[in-house]
Amino acid sequence: MSADDYKVLVAKDIADLIPVFMKNRHKELEALRVALAAADFEQLRQLGHRMKGVGNSYGFNHVSILGKSIEDGAKSGDRAALAATITEYDDYLSKVQIAYE
Amino acid sequence: MRILLIDDDEDLRNLLSRYIRGQWPDAQIDAYDPLERSIPDESFPLGSYDVLVLDYMLGRGDGLEWLKVLKQRADCPKVLFLTGAGNEIIAVRAMKAGADDYQRKQELTRDRLISSIRELTATEVERTVSPELAARMAGHSLGAKVHIPGIKVLHLIGEGGTARVYLASREDDDEPLVVKILRQEIVLNKKALERFMEEYSMVERLQSRHVARIIGHGAHQNNVYLVMEFFEGGDLSKRLAGKPVPPPEALKLFRELMFALGDIHEKGILHRDLKPQNLMFRRDGSLAIVDFGIAKDISAADRTGAGEVLGTPRYMSPEQVQGRALDLRTDIYSAGVLLYQMLTGRHLFDGETAMEVAMHHLNTQPAPLPEDLAHYQRLIDKLIEKDRDARFRNADEVIGFLARNFEQEKPEITQKLH
């Protein structure tokens, strides 16, 4: 990923929603790990689907892309791909830089 | 105004509430979490709301099932149904189940949400007074009136200079389709209409995966329509979003465009209106061209349609600007302008008016490509030569040039949009 991929521009008037949004993403990351460990592909699919839906809405397009990848990985039961995507999600959440416009 | 939001995602509920309150500060918005509560029962005051915003995946529940149940109630308010992008069959089923509007969740912006709620809650007076709303209402009622054998017209999803665009479905299997109903000013021009029918008959018979599949066309009570495949991946303008496309990917898309032009030119059809909005992506990422400019040059509609003032002149060939007879090379020029935009993320020419942009195509030499794209300069130059005799003569020539000069440049991955 390039440095630009970690930069997110968020509208100022939703700035106060971002802490809850980010907290939910970290909770989601943990839920993904638990679901992968339990090979709970239905839960993984639902979590991925939710990420896909909410990421773009807040301007976090990469969350949606990873969500789609998790949803697809869950449908095909591809544990290795899911593990790689979850690692990438962890990396993304730790490095994402938010700016407000 | 009272709005009920049923969605299993706290963040989305928060965001939609914020958008609505930003527009209507006094709105009462009730969030309903389907992970904590089951479907509203008879005692729930559904009728006290003006709009219900309902998601299609509710965690433990199925939004479509909820919609069907709630719509059976006499007090059910207008429903805005949220669907997933790339899953238009859900939209088809929601509209059939009684949803009053739908939005793709991933593409739901503040403006789209507000516009949808405004439309759903507008009073009769507002619908008459606001030209925008009045036009939308006229579009909705037109869609309901047009009968196409085997096809159900479901919902107005767009308005262009020459046609209104509807989500539709095949009655047998709910396959999502698009129906375009030509505007009356096009239909009333008999000569243009004959040409439209004749040329779309040819397009319909054209078997090319690079061209939108036309399922049928015809007329019903003075309304001329076209039925075509639905593109779940959206169009090139959505993918560009003001940014460049990585060169190998741009070249891949351009090559597909050349195949498309090769196929239509072979049948004697010119596109005449290539622009990002007319290059569509299927779910698998493949590209197809739509909206032949057949009706365009016989009407001023394209120049007056909302949002299209600069759209067409940006990609016009010099000979189009001059009103000369067109040939294959006019599409080659427009494709070159598109390639320039894909590579640089910028328009070839800018201007404050359509005329200014058009005149640049005639008189202005474009700025050279940036240094890191210099490799593509010769290709671009030969595509957008102002003198068409110096341009590539046809798509085959371009494909040959690409094969000789850029064969090694393959994109690492084919970008799928969903």
| pLDDT tens for the 418 residues of chain B, in order | 999 999 989 999 999 999 999 999 999 999 999 989 999 999 999 999 999 999 998 877 789 999 999 999 999 999 999 987 667 889 999 999 999 999 988 788 899 999 999 999 987 777 777 777 788 788 888 878 888 999 999 999 888 777 889 999 998 888 999 999 988 887 888 877 877 777 778 778 888 899 999 898 888 888 889 999 999 888 999 888 888 999 999 999 999 999 999 999 988 888 888 999 899 999 888 999 988 765 444 333 333 333 333 337 899 999 988 888 888 999 999 999 999 999 999 999 998 888 899 999 999 999 999 999 999 999 999 999 999 999 999 999 999 999 999 876 665 444 444 3
Secondary structure element (H or E) that encloses residue B166, with its range: strand B163-170
DSSP A62-83: HHHHHHHHHHHHHHHT-HHHHH
Do the two domains B129-229 and B236-406 of this chain adopt the same fold?
no
Chain A partners of B9 at a C-beta cutoff of 8 Å?
Answer: 50, 53-54
Chain B residues whose beta carbon lies within 8 Å of the beta carbon of residue A58: 11, 15
Mark whether B11 is an active-site residue: no
Contact B18, A14 (CB under 8 A): yes
Q: Could you tell me what percent of chain B has a pLDDT over 70?
A: 92
Pairing of strands B2-6, B51-55: parallel
Amino acid, single-letter form, for residue A3: A
pLDDT of residue B136: 79
CATH of domain B129-229: 3.30.200.20
Q: How many CB pairs under 8 A join A and B?
A: 44
What local confidence, expressed as pLDDT, does residue B295 receive? 45
User: What is the predicted pLDDT for the residue at B61?
Assistant: 77
Q: Three-class SS of residue B178? A: strand
pLDDT for position B304: 32
**Shortest CA distance from A66: residue in chain B:** B418
Does the beta carbon of A50 lie under 8 angstroms from any beta carbon of chain B?
yes
Is A9 part of the contact surface with chain B (CB cutoff 8 Å)? no
B103 touches B79 (CB < 8 A): no
From chain A, the residues in CB contact with B56 under 8 A are: none
pLDDT tens digit sequence for B160-209: 777 889 999 998 888 999 999 988 887 888 877 877 777 778 778 888 89
pLDDT tens readout for residues B294-329: 544 433 333 333 333 333 789 999 998 888 888 899
ipTM value > 0.85: yes
Just give the CATH number of B236-406. 1.10.510.10
For residue B302, what pLDDT is reported? 37
**Residues 6+ away with beta carbon under 8 Å from A87:** none
Fold annotation for A14-100: Four Helix Bundle (Hemerythrin (Met), subunit A) (1.20.120)
End-to-end CA distance of chain B: 35
Q: First vs last Cα of chain A: how many Å apart?
A: 23
pLDDT (0 to 100) of residue B353: 86
Pairwise CA distance, residues B293 & B266, whole Å: 17
**Contact yes or no for B11 and A64 at CB 8 A:** no
User: Which residues from chain B sit within 8 angstroms of residue A66, using beta carbons?
Assistant: none
> Helix A61-76 and helix A79-95: axis angle, to 10°?
160
Say yes or no: domain B2-121 is CATH 3.40.50.1700. no
DSSP three-state, residue B129: helix
Q: Is A41 on the interface with B (CB under 8 A)?
A: no
Contact state of B11 with A56 under an 8 Å Cβ cutoff = no
Amino acid at B31: A
- Which residue from A52, A54, A64 is facing B11, i.e. has the nearest CB? A54
Tell me which chain A residues have a C-beta less than 8 angstroms from the C-beta of B106.
52-53, 56-57, 64
Which residues neighbour B310 within 8 Å (Cβ) at sequence distance 6 or greater?
Answer: B351, B354, B357
Quote the pLDDT of residue B294.
58
Q: How confident is the model at residue A73, as a pLDDT?
A: 95
pLDDT 10s digits, A11-69: 898 999 999 999 999 999 999 999 999 999 999 998 998 898 899 889 898 999 999 99
Given an 8 Å threshold on Cβ–Cβ distance, is A57 in contact with B14? no
- From the CA of B82, how many Å to the nearest CA of chain A? 10
Question: Taking CA atoms, what residue in B is nearest to A21?
Answer: B11
* Contact between chains at A20 and B8 (C-beta distance less than 8 A): no
Return the sign of the alpha-carbon dihedral for residues A87, A93, A95, A99.
Answer: positive
Say if the Cβ atoms of B105 and A49 lie within 8 Å.
no
pLDDT band at A5 (very low <50, low <70, confident <90, very high): confident
